[in-house]
Amino acid sequence: MANVKVSLEDLLNSGAHFGHQTKRWNPKMEEYLYGSDNGVHVFDLTKTKPMLEEALEFLSKSVKEGKTILLLGTKKQIKDKVAEVGEALGIAYVNERWLGGTISNFNQMQNSLRKMTEMTENVASGFYNKYTKKERLLIDREITRLERFFGGIKNLKGVPDVLFVIDTKREAGAVHEANTKKVPVIGIVDSNSDPDMIDYPIPMNDDASKALEYVLDLFKSTVEKAKGKNAKEN
Whether residue 144 is contained in a domain is answered as: yes
pTM: 0.91
At residue 3, does pLDDT exceed 80? no
Counting residues of the chain whose pLDDT is more than 70, the rounded percentage is 96
Question: Cβ(185)–Cβ(163) under 8 Å?
Answer: yes
Query: What CATH number is attached to the domain comprising 110?
Result: 1.10.287
**Per-residue pLDDT averaged across 217-234, rounded?**
79
Number of structural domains, the chain? 2
**Per-residue pLDDT averaged across 196-208, rounded?**
96
Task: Identify the pLDDT of residue 234.
Answer: 39
Q: Phi then psi for 198, rounded to 5 degrees?
A: -115, 130
Whether residue 28 is contained in a domain is answered as: yes
Secondary structure (H, E, C), 62-87: HHHCCCCEEEECCCCCCHHHHHHHHH
Query: What CATH number is attached to the domain comprising 66?
Result: 3.40.50.10490
99-124 residue pLDDT tens: 899 999 998 888 888 888 999 999 99
Task: Identify the pLDDT of residue 20.
Answer: 85
Q: Residue 93 carries which side chain, given as an amino acid letter?
A: Y
Task: Identify the pLDDT of residue 132.
Answer: 93
Whether residue 179 is contained in a domain is answered as: no
Whether residue 79 is contained in a domain is answered as: no
Whether residue 175 is contained in a domain is answered as: no
Task: Identify the pLDDT of residue 230.
Answer: 52
**Per-residue pLDDT averaged across 80-86, rounded?**
97
190 shares a domain with 137:
no
**Per-residue pLDDT averaged across 136-148, rounded?**
92
Task: Identify the pLDDT of residue 50.
Answer: 95
Q: 23 lies in which domain range?
A: 8-71+163-168+185-233
Whether residue 94 is contained in a domain is answered as: no
Whether residue 84 is contained in a domain is answered as: no
At residue 93, does pLDDT exceed 60? yes
37-64 residue pLDDT tens: 888 899 999 999 999 999 999 999 999 9
- Which residue, 81, 119, 16, 110, is CA-closest to 220? 81
Whether residue 189 is contained in a domain is answered as: yes
At residue 77, does pLDDT exceed 70? yes
